[in-house]
A and B are shown apart, each in its own frame.
Chain A
Amino acid sequence: MDSLIDVVLFAFLIVVALAVARGRDLFAGAMLFGMFSLLSAGLFLIMDAADVAFTEAAVGAGVSTVLLVAALSLIGTEERARRRSNFLPLAIVVVTGASLIWGTFDLPPFGDPANPPNHHVVPRYLEKSGEEIGIPNVVASVLASYRGFDTFGEVVVIFAAGVGVMLLLGGRKRHRQRKERGL
């Protein structure tokens, strides 16, 4: 049943991706992107990556849909027709995709018990993290304690990015309001 679900979900994924790429209606594209995120989150979950699926669902299907709709409320929902040829972008995408697929050949096979992640430090985490950290979830104790500085750095980066975006957007809005008041 797992392989059946995999095949069907991947088929849906391809159909949705083609529809997003071909469609001219930006609102339909935003809606289909929500479906795309739900599908890929489901695939992550089937591959047992529950935390990645959590993130994909929260960011991809939740926040991205809201952000895309917010952008549509500023720019309208019709895409302008392109006059230039699509050949160069297509070539870049094909080359990038082919090199990414080529890169996956060097990855260890999925779920192999002999993979480095399964016997390097993981046994220690599984055996000791309960008494060393005291958190029942091993992933949480690795993220929040063993790699605490790493996670702290990520939080700082995301916070800086958020502050930067808010400064850029908020600054322009206040400037415009000042202009409207004649200052």
Chain B
Amino acid sequence: MSIASVLLLVGLAVLATMAMALARGLLGPTVYDRILAVNMFGTKTVLLIALLAARSGRSDYLDIALLYALINFIGVIAVLKYFEYGSLGHPHAEEGDEG
């Protein structure tokens, strides 16, 4: 089995996983389903970019994959903070003078 066919198979598997994460994001009864779906979708995008980098031999794509991983993390942190505290500010911002 050649490298190219392995990459193709893995790419198809990643695309199928993206489809399933997308379905969960669209249907997801609770908000946590949606948050997890978006997080997983971002992770699969990172994997897809890494696959593209391996396939085209462009290692600078891996930097972009790293950036996506970081951004995905920040977005999820912001959303979870919103659900924990009801706002994006400091949890005790209302008691202080300036938020």
Residues of A within 8 A of B (CB): 1, 4-5, 8, 12, 15-16, 19, 27-28, 31-32, 34-35, 38-39, 41-42, 45-46, 50, 53-54, 57-58, 61-62, 65-66, 69-70, 72-73, 173, 177
List 7 A-B pairs, minimum CB-CB distance, nearest first: A62-B71, A65-B75, A66-B78, A73-B87, A31-B34, A38-B45, A70-B88
Chain B residues near A69: list those with CB within 8 A.
78-79, 82, 88
B26 pairs with A19, CB closer than 8 A: yes
Instruction: Classify the secondary structure of A's interface with B.
Output: helix
Chain A residues near B64: list those with CB within 8 A.
45, 50, 53-54, 57
Option from B22, B41, B60 in Cβ contact (under 8 Å) with A50: B60
Option from B15, B19, B72, B86 in Cβ contact (under 8 Å) with A73: B86
B18 pairs with A65, CB closer than 8 A: no
Given contacts A31-B35, A45-B64, 10 further A-B pairs with CB under 8 A are A1-B8, A31-B25, A31-B79, A38-B68, A53-B64, A58-B67, A62-B71, A66-B75, A70-B88, A73-B87
